[in-house]
Amino acid sequence: MTMFSSRNWREYPHRYRTEASKFKKSGKTYIPKRLVDPETGDTEQETVRLPETGKVLTHTIIRIAPSQWGDKAPYALAIIELTDGTRLMAQMTDVEMDDVKVGMEVRLEFRRVQSEGSHGVISYGYKAVPKWY
Amino acid sequence: MRTVCVVGVGMGKWGEIWRMSLRDLHTQAALSAIEAAGVDHLDSLYVGCMSGGLFVGQEHLASLLTDYMGMRGLAATRVESACASGGMAVRSAFIEVASGMSDIVMASGVEKMTDVDGDDATYALATAADQEYEVFHGATFPGLYAMMAVAHMEKYGTTRDMLSAVAVKNHNNGSMNPVAQYPFKISMEQVAKSVMVADPLHILDCSPITDGAAAVILASEEVAKKLGKPYIKITGTAIGTDTIQLAQRDDLTTIKAATIASGKALEMAGKKIDDIQFAEVHDCFTIAEIMVAESIGKYKPGKAGEAFLAGESALDGSFPINSSGGLKSKGHPVGATGVAQVVEVYKQLTGQAESGRQIPGSPKVAMTQNMGGSGGSSVVHVMEVA
């Protein structure tokens, strides 16, 4: 499946700099940025950068991957809660897949995530590594 | 609002049906529903399909399918809500009959999934998840449900045996369903030893890739009485939605969209969950059947797995679930699944389920629960004998 670079480029603020929306009323933060707070309907917000550390809420090992991942499987995937309560999904890397556990402390790092389309344009973003790594 | 009845149902054999195209699969189910109901015309059609575009490169399905049914000119619309597309089509047809705008409306569902290989099918299904923040990072559907399973196991101590019991029970039921894709029994050991897809889910925890279609005809009670065939009533219908991005949910161990939909549908029908005598639920993965049974309020959080191990969800249990074989054994042609759930309830409530699969005790009230993606949408119907 061909993806277009503009589609990835639009997401650079989120993927490269973990920019997120912090809403005034609820104090909640969401990545990617959005116009309306889903809980309060509030539109007053500021752009913040997410904290780098958090913990694993749940995880899996993907052994059969969609076509664009080709031979990259198996890989570990996790839902992470950052120290400010924001949640996101990211691949785990620089760790033995079987060692990933609920509650494990992790840090987000800037990594190569995948390559898009038949030309293999590289898409970067965040992946999670063990905090001590 | 008028009373809406199911007056006829139709379904062909599900599976890897290489000799049949999407349009042929749909035509077969649609015509058999029309024949069963004995109607001489339709006022309109709602067809549920998740991704004709990615699976066979075909959109604009509603017009195409009416043409192949021999009904050019018929009002027809496609409805999409990922794997809940079929249930949404039933609800759309319900609203049109209930409003008095039409008397006889078909709701159908179809998916032709085996024209692409497994990797491309995985990709097509993954479009029901958040493309930029789940799929971009490598998420798949088994992967999303696996993460829900890990969270459920961590919080409630849900076990491998509880998951396996769902697959074993559904295959037992499906072994008696002539249209099921995999009509054979499996053992707990086979599930636990089958290949791992996304830890802790094995391939036998997963519903298959399926070609198939299903159709039901909804009509006003006046029409239903004139037709003189067995019919049932739809007394409750509701949709619930939630964020499609799993990470954004407060609780990973429950499916809020199903809770919203079942609560509203029960209220509409004037029923409580304990009035429901059996259910067809969306067991796209074994953990989903456990989570849905809890989310619709039948079991307290963390308690469904134990009840399933004790046999409560079996055909002769206190609350039979997926007498059809469910998505697991019957198959899961995503757009058709929600319609096929209504087909099964119609058969059960009119005493027409195939030998061995009929739920004992002549039940009178049932529920269907159809789900989109990892729980971003859910549609629930409550049905009763006429």
Chain B environment of A1 (Cβ under 8 Å): 123
Q: Is the pLDDT of residue A43 over 70?
A: yes
Closest CA to B26 of B1, B63, B81, B73: B63
B34 burial type by CB count under 10 A (0-12 exposed, 13-18 middle, 19+ buried)? buried
pLDDT number for residue A68: 74
Q: Which residues pair with B368 in a beta bridge?
A: B280, B381
Whether domain A5-130 has CATH 2.40.50.840: yes
Contact B339, B219 (CB under 8 A): no
pLDDT number for residue A118: 64
Kindly list the distances between the CA atom of residue B350 and the CA atoms of B118, B280, B363, in Å, as whole numbers in the listed order. Answer: 38, 15, 9
Chain B environment of A125 (Cβ under 8 Å): 136-137
pLDDT number for residue A88: 97
Catalytic residue among B26, B152, B282, B332: B332
Q: What is the rounded distance in angstroms from the CA atom of residue B265 to the CA atom of residue B275?
A: 13
- Region B331-347: mean pLDDT is 98
Q: Does A60 touch chain B (CB under 8 A)?
A: yes
Contact B88, B378 (CB under 8 A): no
Contact A59/B147, CB-based, under 8 Å?
Answer: yes
B332 is a catalytic site residue: yes
Contact B197/A64, CB-based, under 8 Å?
Answer: yes
pLDDT number for residue A3: 56
- pLDDT tens digit string along B264-294? 999 999 999 999 999 999 999 999 999 999 9
pLDDT number for residue A133: 67
Contact A113/B136, CB-based, under 8 Å?
Answer: yes
Name the 3-class secondary structure at A129. Answer: strand
- pLDDT tens digit string along B4-36? 999 999 999 999 999 999 999 999 999 999 999
Q: Which residue in the set A60, A66, A80 is minimally distant from B150, CB to CB?
A: A60
What ipTM was assigned to the predicted interfaces of this complex? 0.95
How would CATH label the architecture of B4-117+210-232? 3-Layer(aba) Sandwich (3.40)
Contact B3, B233 (CB under 8 A): yes
pLDDT number for residue A120: 73
> Domain boundaries in chain A?
5-130
- Exposure b/e, B122-134, CB count within 10 A at least 16 = b: bbbbbbbbbebbb
Name the 3-class secondary structure at B313. Answer: coil
Q: Does B352 touch chain A (CB under 8 A)?
A: no
pLDDT number for residue B119: 81
- pLDDT tens digit string along A11-38? 999 999 999 999 999 999 999 999 999 9
Whole-number mean pLDDT of chain B?
97
Q: What is the rounded distance in angstroms from the CA atom of residue B155 to the CA atom of residue A86?
A: 20
Distance from CA of A66 to the nearest CA of B (A): 5
B3 burial type by CB count under 10 A (0-12 exposed, 13-18 middle, 19+ buried)? middle
Q: Does A23 touch chain B (CB under 8 A)?
A: no
> Domain boundaries in chain B?
4-117+210-232, 129-207+236-385
B60 is a catalytic site residue: no
- pLDDT tens digit string along A73-114? 999 999 999 999 999 999 999 999 999 999 999 999 999 998
Contact A81, A87 (CB under 8 A): yes
CATH class of B129-207+236-385: alpha beta
Q: What is the rounded distance in angstroms from the CA atom of residue B238 to the CA atom of residue B265?
A: 5
Size of interface A-B (CB pairs under 8 A): 101
